[in-house]
Structure 1
Amino acid sequence: MRPRVAHQGGEYTGTVFTDACDRMGVTQSMGRTGSALDNAVAESFNSTLEFELLATTRFATRREARRAVAGFLDRYNHTRRHTACDNQAPVAYEQAQAAAAVPPTQAA
Protein backbone atom coordinates (compact mmCIF):
# COMPACT_ATOMS: atom_id res chain seq x y z
CA MET A 1 0.00 0.00 0.00
CA ARG A 2 1.37 3.41 -0.99
CA PRO A 3 1.65 6.05 1.73
CA ARG A 4 -0.70 9.00 1.53
CA VAL A 5 1.01 12.26 0.61
CA ALA A 6 -0.28 15.63 1.74
CA HIS A 7 0.50 18.97 0.07
CA GLN A 8 3.62 18.99 2.23
CA GLY A 9 4.77 15.80 0.59
CA GLY A 10 8.32 14.57 0.56
CA GLU A 11 8.99 16.05 -2.87
CA TYR A 12 8.74 19.54 -1.35
CA THR A 13 10.29 18.89 2.05
CA GLY A 14 13.09 16.53 1.04
CA THR A 15 16.74 17.48 1.32
CA VAL A 16 17.40 17.64 -2.44
CA PHE A 17 14.57 20.09 -3.05
CA THR A 18 15.17 22.24 0.03
CA ASP A 19 18.90 22.42 -0.76
CA ALA A 20 18.09 23.52 -4.33
CA CYS A 21 15.79 26.22 -2.95
CA ASP A 22 18.53 27.39 -0.58
CA ARG A 23 21.09 27.58 -3.41
CA MET A 24 18.70 29.68 -5.51
CA GLY A 25 17.71 31.95 -2.65
CA VAL A 26 14.12 30.70 -2.65
CA THR A 27 12.26 30.78 0.65
CA GLN A 28 9.77 27.96 0.93
CA SER A 29 6.40 28.73 2.43
CA MET A 30 4.12 25.98 3.66
CA GLY A 31 1.04 26.26 5.77
CA ARG A 32 -0.18 23.90 8.40
CA THR A 33 -1.40 20.49 7.39
CA GLY A 34 -5.18 20.46 7.13
CA SER A 35 -5.62 24.23 6.86
CA ALA A 36 -8.06 24.97 4.04
CA LEU A 37 -7.02 28.62 3.90
CA ASP A 38 -3.42 27.92 2.90
CA ASN A 39 -4.41 27.27 -0.71
CA ALA A 40 -7.63 29.31 -0.89
CA VAL A 41 -6.45 31.83 -3.48
CA ALA A 42 -4.92 29.22 -5.78
CA GLU A 43 -7.91 26.92 -5.43
CA SER A 44 -10.29 29.79 -6.21
CA PHE A 45 -8.36 30.68 -9.36
CA ASN A 46 -8.15 27.03 -10.46
CA SER A 47 -11.92 26.74 -10.01
CA THR A 48 -12.50 29.84 -12.13
CA LEU A 49 -10.18 28.58 -14.87
CA GLU A 50 -11.86 25.19 -14.92
CA PHE A 51 -15.41 26.56 -14.86
CA GLU A 52 -14.90 29.32 -17.43
CA LEU A 53 -12.50 27.67 -19.87
CA LEU A 54 -11.58 24.06 -19.33
CA ALA A 55 -15.06 22.65 -18.71
CA THR A 56 -16.46 24.27 -21.85
CA THR A 57 -13.63 23.71 -24.34
CA ARG A 58 -12.08 20.67 -25.98
CA PHE A 59 -8.52 21.01 -27.18
CA ALA A 60 -7.08 19.02 -30.06
CA THR A 61 -3.47 19.45 -28.91
CA ARG A 62 -1.51 20.47 -25.83
CA ARG A 63 -0.26 23.48 -27.75
CA GLU A 64 -3.83 24.61 -28.34
CA ALA A 65 -4.63 24.14 -24.65
CA ARG A 66 -1.53 26.09 -23.57
CA ARG A 67 -2.45 28.97 -25.88
CA ALA A 68 -6.02 29.05 -24.58
CA VAL A 69 -4.84 29.06 -20.96
CA ALA A 70 -2.28 31.79 -21.73
CA GLY A 71 -5.04 33.88 -23.34
CA PHE A 72 -7.28 33.30 -20.32
CA LEU A 73 -4.47 34.41 -17.97
CA ASP A 74 -3.86 37.53 -20.03
CA ARG A 75 -7.56 38.51 -19.96
CA TYR A 76 -7.84 37.57 -16.28
CA ASN A 77 -4.96 39.87 -15.32
CA HIS A 78 -5.30 42.72 -17.83
CA THR A 79 -9.00 42.99 -18.72
CA ARG A 80 -11.24 41.21 -16.24
CA ARG A 81 -12.41 43.38 -13.37
CA HIS A 82 -12.09 42.00 -9.85
CA THR A 83 -14.13 43.15 -6.87
CA ALA A 84 -11.08 42.63 -4.65
CA CYS A 85 -9.26 45.23 -6.81
CA ASP A 86 -11.84 48.02 -6.52
CA ASN A 87 -13.51 46.69 -9.68
CA GLN A 88 -10.32 47.10 -11.74
CA ALA A 89 -8.18 44.58 -13.57
CA PRO A 90 -5.35 43.31 -11.32
CA VAL A 91 -2.56 44.84 -13.40
CA ALA A 92 -4.24 48.27 -13.45
CA TYR A 93 -4.95 48.03 -9.72
CA GLU A 94 -1.32 47.18 -8.89
CA GLN A 95 -0.06 49.99 -11.11
CA ALA A 96 -2.37 52.46 -9.37
CA GLN A 97 -1.27 51.21 -5.94
CA ALA A 98 2.40 51.51 -6.91
CA ALA A 99 1.90 55.02 -8.27
CA ALA A 100 0.10 56.08 -5.09
CA ALA A 101 2.95 54.73 -2.97
CA VAL A 102 5.63 56.84 -4.67
CA PRO A 103 6.46 59.92 -2.60
CA PRO A 104 5.62 63.17 -4.47
CA THR A 105 9.29 64.22 -4.58
CA GLN A 106 10.14 61.07 -6.55
CA ALA A 107 7.20 61.14 -8.95
CA ALA A 108 8.19 61.75 -12.54
Structure 2
Amino acid sequence: MNHTHQRFATREQARLAISEYIEIFYNRQRTQARLNYQSPVAFTQRYYLNQIAA
Protein backbone atom coordinates (compact mmCIF):
# COMPACT_ATOMS: atom_id res chain seq x y z
CA MET A 1 0.00 0.00 0.00
CA ASN A 2 1.35 3.39 -0.96
CA HIS A 3 0.29 5.65 1.88
CA THR A 4 2.61 8.57 1.20
CA HIS A 5 0.96 11.63 -0.33
CA GLN A 6 -2.19 9.76 -1.19
CA ARG A 7 -5.43 11.70 -1.66
CA PHE A 8 -8.79 10.16 -0.99
CA ALA A 9 -12.14 11.08 -2.47
CA THR A 10 -13.96 10.42 0.80
CA ARG A 11 -13.21 10.07 4.49
CA GLU A 12 -14.45 6.49 4.29
CA GLN A 13 -11.78 5.62 1.70
CA ALA A 14 -9.13 7.22 3.92
CA ARG A 15 -10.42 5.36 6.97
CA LEU A 16 -10.31 2.03 5.14
CA ALA A 17 -6.78 2.62 3.83
CA ILE A 18 -5.52 3.60 7.28
CA SER A 19 -7.22 0.62 8.91
CA GLU A 20 -5.69 -1.71 6.33
CA TYR A 21 -2.22 -0.26 6.92
CA ILE A 22 -2.51 -0.62 10.67
CA GLU A 23 -3.87 -4.17 10.54
CA ILE A 24 -1.62 -5.55 7.81
CA PHE A 25 1.66 -3.76 8.30
CA TYR A 26 1.86 -2.15 11.69
CA ASN A 27 0.24 -4.82 13.84
CA ARG A 28 1.55 -7.90 12.03
CA GLN A 29 5.04 -6.91 10.93
CA ARG A 30 6.25 -4.50 13.59
CA THR A 31 8.53 -6.08 16.17
CA GLN A 32 7.23 -6.07 19.71
CA ALA A 33 9.16 -6.17 22.97
CA ARG A 34 6.65 -8.51 24.61
CA LEU A 35 7.35 -11.06 21.85
CA ASN A 36 11.11 -10.93 22.39
CA TYR A 37 11.45 -8.31 19.63
CA GLN A 38 9.88 -10.49 16.97
CA SER A 39 6.96 -9.63 14.74
CA PRO A 40 3.69 -11.37 15.60
CA VAL A 41 3.98 -13.35 12.35
CA ALA A 42 7.51 -14.54 13.17
CA PHE A 43 6.52 -15.34 16.76
CA THR A 44 3.56 -17.43 15.59
CA GLN A 45 5.66 -19.28 13.02
CA ARG A 46 8.33 -20.07 15.60
CA TYR A 47 5.68 -21.23 18.08
CA TYR A 48 4.17 -23.72 15.65
CA LEU A 49 7.57 -24.97 14.50
CA ASN A 50 8.45 -25.64 18.15
CA GLN A 51 5.14 -27.48 18.64
CA ILE A 52 5.87 -29.73 15.67
CA ALA A 53 9.42 -30.43 16.90
CA ALA A 54 8.25 -31.29 20.42
Structure 1 gap ranges (5+): 1-58
Q: 2:47 aligns with which of 97, 100, 105?
A: 97
Tell me the residue number matched to 1:85: 35
Shift, 1:73, TM fit: 1.1
Moved beyond 3 Å, runs of 4+: none
1:71 aligns with 2:25: no
Structure 1 length-normalised TM: 0.37
Per chain length, whose mean CA-contact separation is higher, i.e. which structure has more relative contact order (CA < 8 Å, sep 6+)?
2
Could you say what the CA RMSD is over the residues aligned between the two structures, in angstroms?
A: 1.8
Larger Cα-atom Rg: 1
Q: For residue 30 of structure 2, give the secondary structure of its aligned residue in structure 1.
A: coil
Aligned pairs for 1:50-69 (under 5 A) are 60-69=10-19
Q: For residue 95 of structure 1, give the secondary structure of its aligned residue in structure 2.
A: helix
Quick one: percent identity of the two aligned structures?
16
| Residue correspondences, number | 45
CA distance in 2, matches of 1:103, 1:95: 12
Shift, 1:103, TM fit: 3.3
CA distance in 2, matches of 1:103, 1:81: 24
Structure 2 length-normalised TM: 0.67
